[in-house]
Amino acid sequence: MKKTLSLVLALALLLCAAPAFADVAADVEAGQSMTHDELVARAQAETGTFVVYGNTSRITTAAEDFGALYDIPFESNNLKDQEIYTKLRSETGSGAADMVMIQDGAQLTDAIDEGLVINFVPAGVKDAVSEAEQQPALVHQYINKLFIYNNLGDAVPAIQNVWELTASEMKGRVIFKNPESEKVNMNFLVMCTKPEWADRLAEAYRAWKGEEIDLGGYQNAGYKWVAEFLANVTFGKSDTSIAEEVSQETAAGTIGLFVLSKLRSSSVLTDNLTVAAYDAAANGYAVEPFAGFMYPMYTMVNVNANRPYTAMLFIEYLMSEDGFKPWGKNIGAYSPNPALAVNEGDLPIDAWKACLVMEDADYILESFDVEDFILRHCQN
């Protein structure tokens, strides 16, 4: 039903804004085969302020460096995902963004279907990045949210199996941002109910308890784990505040599920924290069946772009070593370009993909009943 509605909205949008869509779509198609120098020439011939929306604060640093490099005036806006999607649906004309950096593959799939954004893969990137990371949207980076625990006291939650987080003694000691307000957290929980992850959770339960799982009315082991995990969770305000909270001396015995890159913050007492996946890798075991989750951040050209060639040049820049520096200088952000190595001491991207739940936009789009199930358990 939602997919049908999206297609209707897409048709309405195209009928109302067909000339702009046609122009930008033609520009993007032409840009796919352009060399770097050709993109630079076209971008510098465009006029007006280059406008960028991104849900990461480091987009501003990247835009500043880009603007200085090519002498292009810019405006960078750090917004929440839903704000960006709302603006894509409402803004046209000179105030519209030219390019967006955004997450949540499910919502992005709808935005693509509605004709709000257009994918652009620079010619120089096509051979460097896998085809799966080029379509339907170019992946700029992966971000991981991991189980990270306070290593102080006598009750350190050094988990080796995620079912340990459902035990009665963990109630109130697990900290996580409410999936009702954090869509990528919702997507993670939805993914846990996908049959392949449910099967792995059932195997992990067997390893933990030494017996077959009793679903007790739940549809599969994923639903059971999600419900029992949420029953023990205390919701935090943000990943930053969760990292700060779990790192305090007074938070002995707690564990959080939050973005790894938050460890870069000076307000986080990193000596008091242990990343479960790092500990597992160092000691020759794995957290069963996952140590957290990872999701992509995408780059897209706005169908209402006033500077489409500048948007394409910026996307090319973001995929380069210099363009990735605002993120790559710290742990917790991973380029799909294998030429851009991870930080010293971090795990390579293939290792993260092997031990983390990955986003599947198609499954998430089909799983509205799962979201309702999760929301009900968030309110209990």
Across the chain, which distance is largest between two alpha carbons, in Å?
Answer: 68
Task: Please give the pLDDT value at position 92.
Answer: 85
Asked if the 2-141+296-346 domain carries CATH number 1.20.1250.20, the reply is: no
What is the average pLDDT across 361-380?
92
Reported as a single tens digit per residue, the pLDDT across 282-320 is 999 999 999 999 999 999 999 999 999 999 999 999 999
Mean of all residue pLDDT scores within the chain? 93
What is the average pLDDT across 61-88?
95
Reported as a single tens digit per residue, the pLDDT across 102-161 is 999 999 999 999 999 999 999 999 999 999 999 999 999 999 999 999 999 999 999 999
Which candidate, 51, 48, 45, places its Cα nearest to that of 27? Answer: 45
What is the average pLDDT across 352-376?
95
Q: Which fold has domain 144-293+363-378?
A: D-Maltodextrin-Binding Protein; domain 2 (3.40.190)
How would you label 79-94 residue by residue, b for 16+ Cβ within 10 Å and e otherwise?
A: bebeebbebbeeeeee
- 91 close to 109: Cβ distance less than 8 angstroms: no
Same fold, 2-141+296-346 and 144-293+363-378: yes
Q: Where are the domains of the chain?
A: 2-141+296-346, 144-293+363-378
Crossing angle of helices 58-70/36-45, nearest 10°?
Answer: 90
The residue ranking higher by pLDDT, 176 or 11, is: 176
The residue ranking higher by pLDDT, 285 or 21, is: 285
Reported as a single tens digit per residue, the pLDDT across 164-206 is 999 999 999 999 999 999 999 999 999 999 999 999 999 999 9
**pLDDT interval class at 272 (50, 70, 90):** very high
Task: Please give the pLDDT value at position 21.
Answer: 58
pLDDT at 12 over 60: no
What is the average pLDDT across 65-89?
95
Query: CA 298 → CA 74, 169, 191, 263, distances in Å?
Result: 20, 39, 19, 23
